[in-house]
Structure 1
Amino acid sequence: MAQRLNDIVDAGHSVFFRFASEMNGSWFPYGQDPIGFVNAWIRCITYWRNALGSNASKVAFIWSPNSGNGYPYPNEAYSFNVNNTSPANLANLKVLDTNNNGKLDIEDDPYLPYYPGDEYVDWVGMSIYHYGTQYDSTVGSWDDNSIPVAGKFEKYLNGDTTDPTTYGYAPFYTYFASSTGSKNSNGTVVSAGSKPLIISETAATYHFAWIDPTGKPAIQGSATRLEIKQAWYEQFLTADFISNYPQMKAVSTFEFIKSEEATWRDFTVFGMAPDPDPTSPNFTADANGVASALATYAQSLDFITYANVTSSSSSSSSSAGSSSTAKSGAVGGNYGVGLYPVFFSVVAVFLAGLIF
């Protein structure tokens, strides 16, 4: 990896490197292991920086958890096992139990236990998604096409103490990107803040078919693909939002159509992806409607400084859990940006004042 990074920099590029993302989630093998994660992060970043030498200033290492809504994400493949009494697990529980009530629950902080320290982090990032408003427990899936409620993105980014069950309570932006910074429950400074922020994954979901339509009703909700996605990006790509969150310097959209939980989902904004399932109803994502609407909208935004798309095809699959964005059945275009090494399909939009 160090050699690859050096080769990219030597070719005249700068690199955003998002390493071990969504570590607070329960859908990756390294998830919900704060002690192991922090040790691995410090070891790897130290090694890579040393190996990069003078090129280190051209590589930004991004620490990027999942948004805290739903934390600690129970009943997933790698959910923390509170019944495991091994010394390592008990040590992790002590770190994870930030409210000191002897268990891991919604009131525990979803970010601070996993932070490796300002010295080892160049940028902070976050995955933020709109899946709908209706979770159907009978099928274990979000499954409605609904317009995101006003302020949803902001509440995911910085918490909502009035409705922490829905949005999470921990103020991520305040913790790491504002000058306020953060302290743990013992009063020890975790971060001095003022880190530049990238929204490293975001999308608003359009559910277009059931994976198994047998006995299922029609997908609920009358909102169109354009209405859903437009309402989402117009929550955070505004002058007022940038003014309130000036350290947000870039946004990456998640450009996949894939199966997740019980539905086929279109996360895309730019371009189209093919029908991923030949047995599902014919579906072609509008190749121009959403992207054209965003392009028109962006012309009025003087804070957008760079956005680029290249189009070589790719696909990926994994067995990650239902809260993850890296799940089975993914099909999408491989989109890249000049400063961004492509590890999954994204489009990045860079905002004025990019610090790099």
Structure 2
Amino acid sequence: MPRLRAGLLALGTALGTALVLTLASCSASPDDAAAPSSDPSTGGTTSSDDGGGGDVSTCEVRRPLGPDSGAWLGVSLDWDHDTPAKYAARLGEHPAAVVSSASMPLTDADVDNVDGAARLAAEQGAVLLLTLEPNDGLRAVDSAAVDALVKALQDWNAAGAPVVVRFGPDMNGSWYPWGQQPKRFKRAFRAVADAVHADVPGSATMWAPAYGGGYPFVGGQYEAIPGGRAAVSLDRDLVGDLGPEDDPYAPYYPGDEAVDWVGMSLFHWGTVYPWGENEPPARGKLVAQLRGRYAAGGVDERRTPDFYRLYGERRGKPVALVETAALYAPGNEGATETRVKSGWIRQVLAPDLLDRLPQLKLVDWFEWNRYEQEIGGRVDWTATRRPAVRQTYRDALPGWAVFGDPDAPRC
């Protein structure tokens, strides 16, 4: 979640206005051929005699495209201070997905870090949602970088972790080096997707733009230069300038063949900029944002396209709420932590959420406590650290939630 994003969202609004449960499919050795089969949609395995006489077992995780029913409930962790196992102990349930990030091209340090995350995810019976950030720009996503990614993904799958690859998130924003460059972004995304689909059957791709309220996010370091090629290509309403009436999503979509998942991160920062006051969320805000119907502070944002309908329903893609949480700034004015967070938890974990959004297949809570530049102080986004909020989260766990299964067979 970029530090500049919330401020630019507000600025744009003022200007014009978010396991496969290991899902292993194993070919067992003859000694294991009689092992029972279970429903793969719940993370089971299928076993068969390969006809060979050796003692070698092979195991291949399946492409993670969501559970047959319900939605995976996962978490984005501060890996410097937390682990999936600690989170599971606090919540009383194992996460179905864990979020990690790396640069692209991958560095040696990235590979080492994700190696650890993949193994810890596998121990929980969880999917790894891997965010890839081309911090050196989209030109650096060349064939060598893609080949290295493929090799790493194959290793992480072999460790028992299905991987969802979220390449270049918030590409419609102006705060990242890969932002607001639609043609280059789509080429790079397709190159990654082609390789993943051809050579990594245990991994999937995710396209995840930033929420379009406040688009085109004027003032960011990487905004499309007015009059430049990118700005002209993004000027969908043909008025001569990129502005709030232009589509914040469509120009960046790399095509149905390249995209397995669509996703978005949605945070409750408050109601009116500047942020920092502890404010309970308006009723229905989460779904309204995902469907382009949210109005904040008297500013009508209904011009935002219905992301869920256009990219989930119409295209038949599983939808992810990639990261979500509600702002609570300790010591600041406003409502109590329990009131702020419980208001958001009740929306994120609403019992009827999947009745309204049946394509929703993944929800990840943002379990971080960190300094946020937008408010000049720390924000506690967590849901399981403090007893009262943790109990609220536990009590709200819905029947549609699918959790990780650490007892499921792994590679």
TM over 0.5: yes
1:130 aligns with 2:229: no
| Counterpart residue type for residue 72 of structure 1 | P
Secondary structure of residue in 2 paired with 1:78 = coil
Q: Is the 8 A contact 1:2 1:48 kept in 2?
A: yes
1:62 aligns with 2:206: yes
1:166 deviation in Å?
4.4
Which is worse superposed, 157-166 or 102-111?
157-166
Partner Cα distance (1:19, 1:110) in 2: 17
1:33 aligns with 2:33: no
1:305 deviation in Å?
1.6
Partner Cα distance (2:272, 2:293) in 1: 19
Partner Cα distance (1:167, 1:265) in 2: 31
Secondary structure of residue in 2 paired with 1:60 = strand
1:162 deviation in Å?
6.9
1:72 aligns with 2:216: yes
Q: Is the 8 A contact 1:2 1:51 kept in 2?
A: yes
Secondary structure of residue in 2 paired with 1:71 = coil
Paired position in structure 2 for 1:291: 390
Q: How many residues are paired up?
A: 256
Equivalent residue runs for 1:2-13 within 5 Å: 2-13=150-161
Partner Cα distance (1:159, 1:267) in 2: 27
Q: Is the 8 A contact 1:257 1:264 kept in 2?
A: no
Paired position in structure 2 for 1:305: 402
CA deviations 1:256-292 (Å, max 9, x no partner) are 22222233242433444xxxxxxxxxxxxx3x22122
1:5 deviation in Å?
0.8
CA deviations 1:35-64 (Å, max 9, x no partner) are 110011111221233332xxx2x2121111
1:20 aligns with 2:168: yes
CA deviations 1:298-345 (Å, max 9, x no partner) are 1xx211121589xxxxxxxxxxxxxxxxxxxxxxxxxxxx9xxxxxxx
Secondary structure of residue in 2 paired with 1:177 = helix
Identity %: 34
- Aligned equivalent of 2:310, options 158, 175, 191: 175
Paired position in structure 1 for 2:326: 204
- Bigger radius of gyration: 2
1:264 aligns with 2:264: no
Q: Is the 8 A contact 2:197 2:204 kept in 1?
A: no
CA deviations 1:48-107 (Å, max 9, x no partner) are 33332xxx2x21211111111111111122122214xxxxx32x2233112221111111
**Taking CA–CA contacts closer than 8 Å with sequence separation of 6 or more, which of the two structures ends up with the larger relative contact order?**
2
| Counterpart residue type for residue 74 of structure 1 | V
Secondary structure of residue in 1 paired with 2:399 = coil
Q: Is the 8 A contact 2:180 2:223 kept in 1?
A: yes
Q: Is the 8 A contact 1:60 1:123 kept in 2?
A: yes
Runs of at least 5 residues in structure 1 that lack an aligned partner in the other structure: 84-88, 137-141, 182-192, 210-218, 273-285, 310-337, 339-356
1:152 deviation in Å?
0.9
Partner Cα distance (1:308, 1:95) in 2: 46
Per residue, is there more helix in 1 or in 2?
2
Paired position in structure 2 for 1:242: 354
Secondary structure of residue in 1 paired with 2:395 = helix
Describe the shift of the 1:161–1:127 C-alpha distance in structure 2 as closer, same or farther (beyond 3 A). Answer: closer
Runs of at least 5 residues in structure 2 that lack an aligned partner in the other structure: 1-148
Paired position in structure 1 for 2:79: none
Describe the shift of the 1:303–1:199 C-alpha distance in structure 2 as closer, same or farther (beyond 3 A). Answer: same
- Aligned equivalent of 1:116, options 251, 254, 257: 254
Q: Is the 8 A contact 2:267 2:325 kept in 1?
A: yes
Describe the shift of the 1:307–1:291 C-alpha distance in structure 2 as closer, same or farther (beyond 3 A). Answer: farther
Paired position in structure 2 for 1:153: 286
| Counterpart residue type for residue 230 of structure 1 | S
**Aligned Cα root-mean-square deviation (Å):** 2.2
TM-score (norm 1): 0.67
Partner Cα distance (2:273, 2:295) in 1: 21
Q: Is the 8 A contact 1:198 1:248 kept in 2?
A: yes
Paired position in structure 2 for 1:331: none
